Each structure stands twice: as C-alpha cells, then as structure tokens.
Structure 1
Amino acid sequence: MRPLSFGSWPSKISSATLSSANRAVNYPQICNDTLFWQEAVTDERRTTIRSLTPEGVANILKPPYGVGTKANIYGGQCWTPTPHGLVFVNKSDQKIYLATHQRTINISPKVAAYYADFHYCAALNSVFFVGEHHREAEHPLATIESIHLLTGEHQILHRTEDFCAAPTVSETGEQIAWMSWSKEVMNWDASTISLAALQNGCLNQLSSLETDPCDGVFQPCFYDQDLWYCSDRSGWSKLYRYAITNGSQALMVDLDRDIGRPLWLYGWSSYCFNSNRVYSVSTREGLTQLWCSSLQGEILEQIELPYSQLEALQSYQDGVVFIASNWCELPTLCAWSPSKGLVVLRSSALEPAETEWISKPEHLRFPTSGESEAYGYFYPPKHPHYHGPEHSLPPLIVMAHGGPTAANTDALNYKVQFWTSRGYAVMDVNYRGSIGYGRHYRESLNGHWGCRDADDVIAAANYLIQTKRVNAKQVAIKGSSAGAYTLLQALRRPSPFQAAACHYGIGDLFALEAETHKFEAGYNRILIGPLPAAEALYQARSPLFHAEQINCPIIFFQGLEDEVVKPEQTQLMCAALAKRSVPYAALYFEGEGHGFRDTDTIDQVLKAEHWFYSQRFGFNIDTNDLPKIGNAQDEVSIQHG
C-alpha cells in the first residue's frame, strides 16, 4: 500500500455502484408453500414480483406492470400472492390488478384511491387492504376495504378521518383487526388495535383493545384463537397476547429489545408463527437478533446468524424467511429452519461486495449534552491500495439520518462507502430520538427537536476529534430531510463543522407545518409543540429566521417535485445566506421528489458534493463531468479550512 493524501483517493465505488447494483429484495410472502418477494429491475425502472420454484427463480410480473403505491406518501407493501393469482397495485396508474398465468386484469374499485397493506384470507376468498381516498381541501379519508376474488365484489368495511394500517383476518374469516391512530399524533407515540367481528361483509362489535393512551402498537396477528400484537408500554416494544374469549392480555416475549418499530411503510413484519413456535426479530443498540419462543412465552433460543440486521420475518416451511444484511452484505433473502439451518436464497447484490474496499463500522457510545449519551457508527477510511500519510488524520463527514424517528444501521451502505473509499472517515449518528434503543431514548427528542439532535451531531464530531480519530480542521456534516434540519440547527451553534451538504432540508418550521401531508400532520406537535401555543418555539428553532448565526459554507440539493419539503425551503435558505455573503452552492432537480431516484441525479449529487468538500479542504480530485452548480459563488470564496 502507498501513502496518499486523505480525501484524494481514487475509488471504484461510484454513483453507478449506488444506483444500479441493487435488486432491493424485500417483503417475502408465502402462498401454498411457495415463496414470493418483490425485487427491483433497475434496467427497466420497475419493481417486479419473483417466486421460488423447483426450477429456480421465476418472474411473476411482466412489463409494463410494476408494483408501487403512493399511499401515505412513503408507500410500502402493496401486493399479495393468492391461489387465484397475484394481487398488486400497479405503480403507473395506482390501480389494483390480478395477475394469473394467462392474463392480468383490472379489479380495482371504481373510485380512484391509493391502496396498500394487502392481506389474503383463504376462508373468504378475499383480499383486505387499506385505502387512501383524496378529497379537495381536506386530508385523505382512510379505509379498510376488501375485494372478493371470485365475484369481484368490492366493499368498504371501515372509514376514518384518522389512520388505519395492517389489516389482518382470522383463519376462519370471522374476525378482523388493524392498527388505528389519530392524525394528531404519530403511530409510534399513541396507537391502538381495533377489533371487530366480520359477518356478511360487514363489521360488528367494533372495539379497541385496552392499552395505555401512549402505547405504540405494531403488527396485529391472529394465531391460536387469540390476537397477538406488539406494544412498547414497558419501555421496549414487546409481544403481547390478547385472549379474545375474555379480554385478558399477557406479555409473551419478555426481552428488553424492540420487536415492533415505527410504521413508516406499510407491511413491515417482525414476528410470525410456525409449528407452535413464535419467531421474532428484535433490536437493541443497533443489533437485530432472531429469537424463538413457545406459545406460553418461554424463550427457547436465540438463533445465531452471520447478520446484524433482520426484518420482514415470515413463516416458511418448518422455519422462517426474512431479509438480512450486515456490514459487507446488502439486504439478502434468507431462510432458516431447524432442519436445514441457514439458506441464502437471493441477494440484492448482483455481485458480492469486494470487502477490501468496504469499511467495517464500530458502534460507538459518546457523551452529549445534559449528561446524556448518544450513539453512532464510526467508519474509518478504507482502500486496498492507499493509506494516509504518516502522522496524518482523515477528514470527517458526520451524517444525520432523516425521520427523525428512524435510525442508521451497520448494514452495507454504498452512500457511506463512497466516502470512506476516497479517504474520509464517516460518523453515522443515531442522535436522541432514534429507534432501536428503547422508548425512553426515542421519546427524549419529543419537545426538543432541533436542540438535542443538533447537540448530538456536534458531540459526535467533538468526541472523534478528542479521541484523535479525525482531523479537527477537516470536518463536514451532511443530512437529508429531517437530518438536514438537524444539520442547519447544528450550524447555528459553536461547532467544528467547516462544510455542510444539505439535502432537501427544512429551514422554516411554520412552512413545514402548513404544507405537510396527512401522515405527518401531527408530527411537529410531538417534536416541538402545538400551534399557536408553541409559536415562539417554531420561531426560535427555524434556521431560516436565524441565518445570521450560520457562517459555514453549505451546498444544497433539492428536488423540484418534493411534496414533503417544498423547494421554497431551500430557495429561501440560499437567499438568506447570500445576503450575508456566506459561501454556498445549490443544485435543483426536475422530476425529483423527496429522495433522489434517478441515476443521473445521484451521479450529479455525489460529484458536486465531492467537489464542494475538496474546495473547502484543499483536496485534489478529478473534476471531469462536474455538473453545473447554480449560485456557486466564485470558488475562491469557498476557501480551504
């Protein structure tokens, strides 16, 4: 290996690696012992459904069809296999179709809506799902609906101004349950399980389980004549059993770990049943494990697997199937059973990762404000041919995740490896408010958004500087959406940051509150406070109104079709910095929404961001094919640190 200045290393990990080498396998489902899953077809720009047959992998969904839903903006599971064929939402027209070997037919209700969270009930020959019906000048109406697959009969079973998700029907078809929560809150802060009798296509005896008003519930499921669900009432999301006959409730999987999770996307699954066993995946401090328990609640074993992240658990054969990943493997479809052990079925990667290029993270705990602690993953620079000059330390990029009720993991992420393979260290911060560390840690951001998260990203950088892992004079921060808001708030404080990359960030909290969609309509009330009572807090925590406190150079990236963070947020932040001659640059992308999807966009973003850091820190990089960067004040003003 040869010495070469950090930040200047050539790398084979490119924007193409990020955008084209990922099948994104997800949502395994079972029908008549056959395994199905969804998978991205990158060269066709669609998501298809595959199945595992004795002959190998079969493609179920032919072009021009592709699955995808716009429900709740973020979407999620919107298909299910049945003995009658594949029921799915087609992305291009948002209609429901039934695909058989012979043909694909439209079975969508006559009234247009967005649909998701499909569940098949064999006893009723019907699919049940969530509907989202849009109305002028009002938030959408949420529904539980069904379609009979033999007659085509469509029924709306339940309507609400609030939210519903995860409909599940008992094996006999006599009962139905689902998650419910108010549009004034988020599902992880206060939700419940609704339960009703299902008779002749109508709901009777509709009730809600008696839970704590602040419970966050997750994934109702009928099994063994009872209703199971997750609740975080104990401080961790654990599995409970509700006896339908007498209404009693019992804790069944008592681990101080999170089984349930905030429901951002429809269709997430963290436990299942097989052969009178309960299988669950649960997380604590970044590590997810597979556990097996009895129906009486006895923990039988923790199943050792070579993965640190597990999700989308389903019963399969005499065991389970799930999506797994770790520091050097993209999400992979796997099965485990007592008879066969672990079987790898399908990787998202077209080619295995070359581990000599992959930086392995270290999960760190570090001190932060208020005598508290926060967490993050530290990635040192990694290259098979270069190392930094003797006695030198690498530049640092601190990353703040979006949400904010979300988390980074140690799963292979080429958005991180792009930087580490070029000689940067990366700190992926799970600031207070992140998930997977228990309810108390998640709720510690409530009422303090824009404060504690900002303190934590600053504390992460200072911790790495103090422990002499990184160069104190070459520290950058980047974030997207809520993470970009954290970034802007951090730049208002004394901090070690000398460069920042703001991806569709929030500058004006009043505008966010006024323009946000239904799913997050109650989010700011939890994170900051209700208006008008909290007007002073919204003013104090909006970076746009305090831009005079920001002196760090920033590069902005914004999609012009973003419905979550409108382009005006970025435009106004740029104008505020320009008034004070703070160095900045901005790129806007037509056709892009909340999160960049187009391969050309991703390529331009990475090249521009790399150029921006190199200008700030004095690195020599290849500037060929650099995109046109709007509003970039002359490069001389973006001075070296």
Structure 2
Amino acid sequence: MQVTTARYGSWRSPITSEFIVAQSIGLSDVQLDGRDTYWVESRPAEAGRSVIVKCAHDGSVTDMVPAPLNARTRVHEYGGGAYGVSQGAVFFCNFSDQKIYRVGDGGPQPLTVDGLRYADLVIDHPRKRLIAVQEDHRASENEPVNSLVVVGFDGSPHVTLASGRDFYSSPRLSPDGRSLAWLSWNHPNMPWDGTELWVAELSTDGALTSERLIAGGAGESVFQPEWSPGGVLHFVSDRTGWWNLYRAAGGETAPLLSMEAEFGMPQWVFGMSCYSFVSEGQIACAWNHSGLWSLGLLDARSQQLRDLGIAGRDFSCVRAAADRIVVRAGAPDKPAAILQVDLPSGTSKVLKKSAPFPGAELQPFLSVAHPYEFPVGEGEKAYAFFYPPRNPEFSAPSGDRPPLLVKSHGGPTAAVTSTLDLRTQYWTSRGYAVLDVNYGGSTGYGRRYRDRLKGQWGVVDVEDCVKGAQALAAQGLVDGKRMMITGGSAGGYTVLCALAFHKVFSGGASHFGVSDLEAMTRDTHKFESRYLESLVAPYPAEAGLYQRRSPVHFARQITAPVIFFQGEDDKIVPPNQTEMMVDALRAQGLPAGYMLFAGEGHGFRRGDNIKRALDGEFSFYDAVVVKAGLRF
C-alpha cells in the first residue's frame, strides 16, 4: 500500500457520509414474548420511521408496523416505550396522530382519540385492557396533564387510575395481576433527581386501592421497578450515591448488592431497562463503572455478581428469560447490535446490527476509544474517550499535530460510551483527533459526580471541555491552534458558552443548541420546563444569572466561526433561539453558517439530513479553520 504524506485533517477516507447513512439504523426498546424477540428500528432511509421488528424463534424477521405508520410516541417529547407485546398481541403508538393502534389481521386499528399521547404500554390480558402513561394536550399544549390510565382492547373510553402528580412512568403489573407499581414525581425534580415508587392493589373492577409509598423522595432517584416471577418488587435507587438494585418485601426495602457502580440510567425516555429476571433468584443486569458497562448475572440469594465476559463496553435494553438474555450491545470495535446470549451454552449471536460490522478493508481505518482522565480542579478529575487519528493510507509530515474535535454530549444529565460510532470514525479517518467528554454532571460515575453540575450548567461542563482540550494540547497529542468543539442540544449550549467565555477553540458547531436560558425556560415543553432550577437557579428570582449564562447576550465575545444546525419542527429548542445567535454573529462579521432542516425536530432522523449536517460541519471547519490554519 502506498502511503501519502499529508497534513492531519486533509486525509481522504472511505468512511463517507453516504456510507454511514446508507448502512446505519437506530436500535432500541427490546422486548421478549415467549420465544419471540421484538425491538424498534429507526431507519434514516425511511425518513427516520420507527418500526417494530419481530424475530421469531426460528430466526424469521418481520416488520410489525407497515408504512407509513411510525411506532414513536411524543410523551415528554423524547418518547420511548412506544409499544407493548404479550401473548402475540402488539399495541403501539403512532407518531403522526399519537393514537394507540392494535396490530391485527386486518391491519393496525386505532383505539384512542386525538389530543392524547401514550407511553409505557402494559398489557393486562385478563381485563382485556392496556395500562399506560397518558399525556393530555387537549386543554393546554405547554402544560399537559399526565396520568396513568387504562385503555380497553376494544377502544372503550379510558379510565384514569392515578393522577395529580406532574409526571408518571414505569407502570408494572405484578405476575398475578393483583398489584400495580409505578413511579411519579413533581416539578422541579427530574427523574434522576427524585422520584417516588408507589404500589397499589387492583380491585375486582380494576381500580387502584390501598396505595402506599415504597421508596424514593425529593433526594432519591428510583428507576425501573420490576416484579420477580414470584411477585417480589425490585427497583433501582441511588440512595447511597450509586444506582444499585433493591428489593421490597415485608414492608422493608433492602439492597441486593452494594457497589460503587451504576445499575441505572437517567430516565430521558420510557421503557429503559438495565436488569431483567432469568428466574426468581437470578437476575441479568448491566452496570456502569467509570463509564464502561458490563453484563452479568446476579444471584439474588448469595448476592454474588458474575460478569458474563461478553465482549463489549456498552449494554442497555436488558431483557431475559429462563434460557437467554437479549440486550442492545456495543463495543469499541463494533457498532451497537441486538445481541442474544444463550445461557446454557454461554454462546451469543447477533440478531440485528445497527451498522455492518467493519470488514477487513475498514478495520485499519478504525480508531478505538481510549479512556482519558484529566484534572479539572482541586482533587477533581473529569472523564472522556480519546480517539487518535487513524488512516493507513496517510501519514502526517514530521512535527505536524492533528486538529482536535471536542464533542460535548446532550442532556446534560447523560453520558457517552466507547461504542464504535461511524460518525466519530468519519473524523478520525480524515486526520482529526476526537475527545468525547463526560463532563461533570454526566452519569455513570455516581451521584456526587452527577451533582457537580447542580447550579453550574454553563460553567462546569464548559471548563471540563476546555481543560480536556488543553490537556491534550499540552501533551503534544493535538494542535492547540486547531481545536474545535461540537455538540447537540445541551451540548450545543456548552459549545456556545465555550466560544463566548473562553478563547481556546478555533471554531464550533451547535446542533439545535440552547443559546438563551430564559427563552428555554419560557418556551420549552413541560418535562424540562423546570430542569434549569437545579442546573442554574430558580427562575425568575435569579433572572440575572440566567442572562449572564446565556451566550445570546455575549455574542460579541465570540471571535471564532460557528455553524448551526436546526430542525424546523423542534419543540425543545425552537428555531428562533438559533436564529437569534446566527443574526448576532453575522452582524459582527463572523463566519456563521446556518442549516435549517424541514420536517426535523430535536435531533435529525432523515438520512439525507444526517448526511448534509455531517458533511456541512466538515466543510465548514475545513474552509475556515483547518486549511486556513487560523486562530480566531
């Protein structure tokens, strides 16, 4: 192979945007029904349509949702938990009208009316009904009413089971059908701040009686209640500072295992699962230690946890039966896939890939994530994954250093993993280094690390991204004069703050990012409408602080070029926020790109738009930073 000498950032790569979009799908929401396995595929090639897929025991695969139906809910805007399946019956929420449909021989039939949204569907066969979270937008679009309701299989009018709290999630019916568990919480808490786990008995007519609080409160985040096959309630709680597994029995709660590891996640969407029962005494579970996930079996009686040794560092959507575990799994050298583990033999097989596993021709181009820690304060450290540039067809001139792209994740209460992402490889194979930062406030490192962002959004996250970039430059691993920062949603806010309040980065990209905290508080949807009270301060009492943390008021301090990507239908960060920033930067003569995508919301789902955004960001940096060699 002939190796060409060329500066970092100018290398040609076979990992093109066309290749990424054509080959990639999203995978989520695994469910088991007898011997069959179900999951949801988000398909960019079908305009981002979400399709429920059934994989039968014989290996045959069937789409359960015909086009143009789209199995996606908008409860909390982020959705999740858009379908339920039991004894072969499939019910799902359709995106365009948000109605619940039942899959039948004559095609899917709607069961509900306009103006209502549903999620977390639980099938109650004996009573011929669904139990679900309902979000009622008929009286108010900005402050809908959330509740737990039942919907009859025949579409009969719904009946409210529980109401009066701001939010509900995770209804779980006991195996004997006599009890229901659920989570609820009120403003200003987010579910990772504080939730309550409730249980009630179901009367003969299906109504709730004898409601009682099991766990949780304002300072305790409870996640994923589940009943064991024998009817014992289990849940995840961070009462010790770490999301660990507990059981509730005899009026008391007790930990199954105490570890400085996370067996839970921030509940941004419905239907999340980090554990599932193989049997009464054996639990399949995934846990996160220092940003890296493992998959194993927990013996509930002996409290012994055994790592299954499955190759991978990212596990979610955990479902189990007596003889198998099915999970969404990813690894540094493999993209996410639906993986089935056969428990008797210990073997595993892939049921569906989110992208083709790179063949021999692409393996030499792949940059594998390196866990990276760096100091951020007195005795504090932050975490990231570092990807050095890699392309066997190119080498850089002596003394050259690669440009750096710092990635700031959304949320901000979320985290990145080391799973192979072809979008990251797009950059590294072109001669960029990438630093994917889990700044203070990220999950996977315990509640104390998560709480570093309390009252400090726009400060801690920004400083961690800045210091991570500076640490790499000081080590000579990157070119300190060619460092860019990119992020989406909350990550876009971090980008704009970094450019407004620091002079470290030579350019940036904001993907549907927040620029005005006051506008976000006034205009955003119910789920996040009080989120900033913990991330920043109470509003409007601290309106001045909101203004001081809003990049839109400090556009004149930005001296680096910025490109913006925005969905026209975004309800979380409306286009007017982005356009205020674009206008302010252009007014002072800065290069400010702006790409507005019709038909897209908060995050891009259409393949052509994903391609345009990826190529647009690369071309922007290439023109105004990398080739120009400018330091703005």
TM-score between both structures, scaled by the size of structure 2: 0.94
Residue in 2 that maps onto 1:73 = 77
Q: 1:40 to 1:591 in 2, by over 3 A?
A: closer
Deviation at 1:371, TM superposition (A): 4.3
Q: 1:566 to 1:48 in 2, by over 3 A?
A: closer
Deviation at 1:206, TM superposition (A): 1.6
Q: Does the CA-based 8 Å contact 1:147-1:154 persist in structure 2?
A: yes
Q: Secondary structure at the match of 1:341?
A: coil
Q: Which amino acid aligns with 2:315?
A: L
Q: Does the CA-based 8 Å contact 2:277-2:321 persist in structure 1?
A: no
1:26 aligns with 2:34: no
1:441 aligns with 2:449: yes
Alignment match of 1:569 (pick from 557, 577, 589):
577
Alignment match of 1:554 (pick from 548, 553, 562):
562
Residue in 1 that maps onto 2:333 = 328
Deviation at 1:267, TM superposition (A): 0.1
Residue in 2 that maps onto 1:10 = 12
RMSD of Structure 2 on Structure 1 (CA): 2.0
Distance 1:56 1:498 in 2: 51
Q: How does 1:260-409 map to 2 (within 5 A)?
A: 260-275=264-279, 276-296=281-301, 298-353=303-358, 354-409=362-417
Deviations 1:91-149 (A, max 9, x none): 2322212113x223425234641111112244444332111111236511112122343
Deviation at 1:38, TM superposition (A): 1.9
Residue in 1 that maps onto 2:233 = 227
Deviation at 1:42, TM superposition (A): 4.5
Deviation at 1:577, TM superposition (A): 2.1
Distance 2:26 2:521 in 1: 32
Q: 1:111 to 1:480 in 2, by over 3 A?
A: closer
Q: Secondary structure at the match of 1:547?
A: helix
* 70-79 vs 111-120, greater mean Cα deviation: 111-120
Q: Does the CA-based 8 Å contact 1:618-1:640 persist in structure 2?
A: no
Q: 1:397 to 1:556 in 2, by over 3 A?
A: same
Q: 1:42 to 1:617 in 2, by over 3 A?
A: closer
Residue in 1 that maps onto 2:246 = 240
Q: Secondary structure at the match of 1:384?
A: coil
1:103 aligns with 2:78: no
Distance 2:290 2:561 in 1: 33
Residue in 2 that maps onto 1:170 = 174
Distance 2:278 2:626 in 1: 58
Q: Secondary structure at the match of 1:447?
A: coil
Distance 1:147 1:418 in 2: 46
Q: Which amino acid aligns with 1:30?
A: L
1:89 aligns with 2:97: no
Q: 1:380 to 1:105 in 2, by over 3 A?
A: closer
Distance 1:221 1:618 in 2: 51
Alignment match of 1:146 (pick from 141, 147, 150):
150
Q: Does the CA-based 8 Å contact 2:236-2:264 persist in structure 1?
A: yes
Deviations 1:474-495 (A, max 9, x none): 1111111111111111123333
Q: Which amino acid aligns with 1:237?
A: W
Q: Which runs of 5+ in 2 are unaligned?
A: none
Alignment match of 2:117 (pick from 114, 118, 124):
114
Q: Does the CA-based 8 Å contact 2:102-2:111 persist in structure 1?
A: no
Distance 1:32 1:610 in 2: 47
Deviation at 1:374, TM superposition (A): 0.6
Q: Which amino acid aligns with 1:233?
A: R
Q: How does 1:544-623 map to 2 (within 5 A)?
A: 544-619=552-627
* 458-467 vs 607-616, greater mean Cα deviation: 607-616
Residue in 2 that maps onto 1:185 = 189
Residue in 1 that maps onto 2:548 = 540
Q: Secondary structure at the match of 1:160?
A: coil
Distance 1:227 1:547 in 2: 52
Residue in 1 that maps onto 2:135 = 132
Deviation at 1:66, TM superposition (A): 3.0
* 152-161 vs 421-430, greater mean Cα deviation: 152-161
TM-score between both structures, scaled by the size of structure 1: 0.93
Q: Does the CA-based 8 Å contact 2:149-2:161 persist in structure 1?
A: yes
Residue in 2 that maps onto 1:49 = 52
Q: 1:509 to 1:104 in 2, by over 3 A?
A: same
